[in-house]
Structure 1
Amino acid sequence: MIAKIGRSSNLYGTLSYNNIKIEKEKGEILLLNKMIETADGSYSVSQLARSFEPYLLANRNTEKHTLHISLNPDPKDKVSDEKYKEMAQQYMTEMGYGDQPFIVFKHTDIDRSHIHIVSVCVDEEGKKISDQFEKIRSMKVCRELENKFGLISATGKKHQRDDKIFRPVNYQAGDVKSQIAAVVRHLPDYYKFQTLGEYNALLSLFNITTEKVEGEFMGKHWQGLLYFPLNEKGEKSGHPFKASLFGKNAGIDALEKHFTACKNKNNDQPLKQNLKKSITKALHSSKDEQAFKKKLKKEGIDTVVRKNDNGRIYGITFIDHRSKTVWNGSRLGKECSAKVFHDYWNNNIKPEIEIPDQMQAKKYQSTNANQPPEEFNRQFDFLNDSEKYSDIFIEALGTLIPGSLNKNYEEENFTYKKMKKKKRRKG
């Protein structure tokens, strides 16, 4: 089980976030501790907030007084409402909040149920409750709860948790927004790409594509991105989602800064030469597109080919997972352009590509790998099996991002929109 602890100065926003889940029939209140209860068991945000008012009025100098905790069992765990209540009560008691007013919400908006706990971290006298060594204490309590209730251990199943987050989008499975969010929020942190086309090539591995939209409003030019899920044929399926739903990293401004930063890197030449070497070897030892792709996949390189309705190749992009870089073919040189591959695979015109300097490739391997080349390549043995990514690769990608579970982007986006509306009203 994973516990996420958040703090803010916006009690109403936190309560509203959870209350909206109830209004959408994607949540319910499981437990009230030292809260003012109603006769019919229904609650508004203002009613819930009244129980916390004495604590906030007594608050001395704690800016982030609102506590928002989520307890997330493994998706395979089947937890009853009664167990959730016991777990929440024990967690809050052992963390020092057992005597505080708190509400336990159960959320069912994704494919696994989980609970959110809302409270305040100042006591009746307005003093802040100690959060010293909070993360360590929280992890200890989670392990105790796992043992007590027979839950799957999060420490033993970390890679499975990340695998769940970074699996390619399955538009038929539902909750497409969360599936897309789990991918687009983090890819720019781990891959280098210099254009929207290269970004789209990388996204296509996860059954996602994005399009730039722009217009004019009240005399001001605006631009943004829309994200679409793709089906098994690579076609758009379902309605698009605004980039703003997925946090700043997914927006056009952040991506353009990322493009610029990647262009300003000065150490790309060895990566480029090493990739061209692999492409050259694959071309010389294959006769068609599928064989070429398969050979590169063995080395941890994916190839995304774009064709028009007549089958003509007009674009080719290489995703090198060894160096976490994405390269449009023309950026590697005219000998790796889309025309070269079209002529070879369709007209049998063999390309004249010279193998890059072997010393450059060796230099790259010695400066960029912390392990022997043969051991490094074995990490990509699974790529031999299929054209699509296997679960093992998604697990490997997921483990790069251990802190991704500590953020609630949906709640952050909700709070951000509330603040914008408040500012507009003041204006």
Structure 2
Amino acid sequence: MVAVINTGRSIRAIFNYNENKVSVGAAQCIGEGNYPMDVSDMNLIFKLNMLLKQLELNENVTRNSVHISLNFDPSEKELSKEKLMEVASSYMDKIGFGSQPYLVYQHHDAGHPHIHIVSIKVRADGSRIDMQNIGKYQSETARKEIETQFNLVRAESKKKTTVMDLKPLKVHKIEYGVSDSKKAIASILHAVIPHYKFTTIGELNAVLNLYNISVLQGKEDSKMFIHKGLLYQIIDADKNPIGVPIKASSFHFMPTMKTLEQKFEANKKSRLPDMKRIRNSIDMAFLKNSNIDLDELEKKLLKEGIAVIYRQSSQGLVYGITYVDHTTKCVFNGSALGVQYAAKAILERCGNVRIKPDGNNYENKLQKEEATKNPAFISERELQKIIDSILQPEYASEFIPASLKGRRKKRKRKGQSDN
């Protein structure tokens, strides 16, 4: 069993997270602790208000909410609700939350059985529960005792086999809920990071996105970014995040920013001999057919083992391009290969085709048909202006049109007045 403890500033947010899972059939509220009635007799308002009312007893506690997940081995899928509630109750007692009101949710959206416990840090007398080092001491002791008490698979026994388990023969896209999320992410990372040659987080993401994983740095002013933290997140086909992101430091081979930065420097030199192969493949694709569009270019390069990843706006306009060569295991942004292989040049060579996020180029076909009917539909010069405006840097200039500037106040001459 593995226990994960998180604290937060909003019990409402944690409560809504779990109840939203219930509403879509991905979870079930299986029990409660220290509530005046059974969970089946309570509505959503009563469940939440019980927690909120107790928090009002001490408004000085800012990080007042607690969100705990107890994760079991995939082989323990047959654990009954009754046994899960016994485990939850025992765990809460052992970490000092036995008298606190709490709700227990069984989630069904991952490859391993697990429960979430929602509680608060304010006691019934208004005092605050100190959670300093609770994970290191109380939780670890409780976990080991519960594993023995309920005959659960011990976490230590799984750690010894982790390295061997994370070496799949074939790497496939992750399907959330089909297998254990952390194990699935680790399998992909173990297959990609040591073997592919990338020099930025963006290039690494280009590869990981192919397998439904994204690496997150946080916003530039966030603590995570400043302290070089990384999270790995499962994403769906539309690149929307699914499930809970996992810290880089929690994986046994440590795919942290420090590790990646070392690889960035080494890869800058080691990938140089492989640039020529991608350039030649692109040039040959155009040499054989000078009128190909982006969709056709992607298919031709894929036959050579080179995946093309477009960075597009929500309107389907291409503003960036990355090449992933699965043969040489090299990743290049288009501009790194040369100006003629960057997004703008490729757009021009393909006739400025606009594609949709799903890769279809039907809009281009419609435009060609319209242009055939009406030659004045849109001139090449006008189209080039549109592309140039889209591809220019977002903050390229601080120029402000005169029409948007405030009127300059006239300076009064000495001796003049408004009268």
TM-score by length of 2: 0.50
Tell me which structure has the larger Cα radius of gyration: 2
The structure carrying a bigger helix percent of its residues is 1
RCO comparison, higher one (Cα < 8 Å, 6+): 1
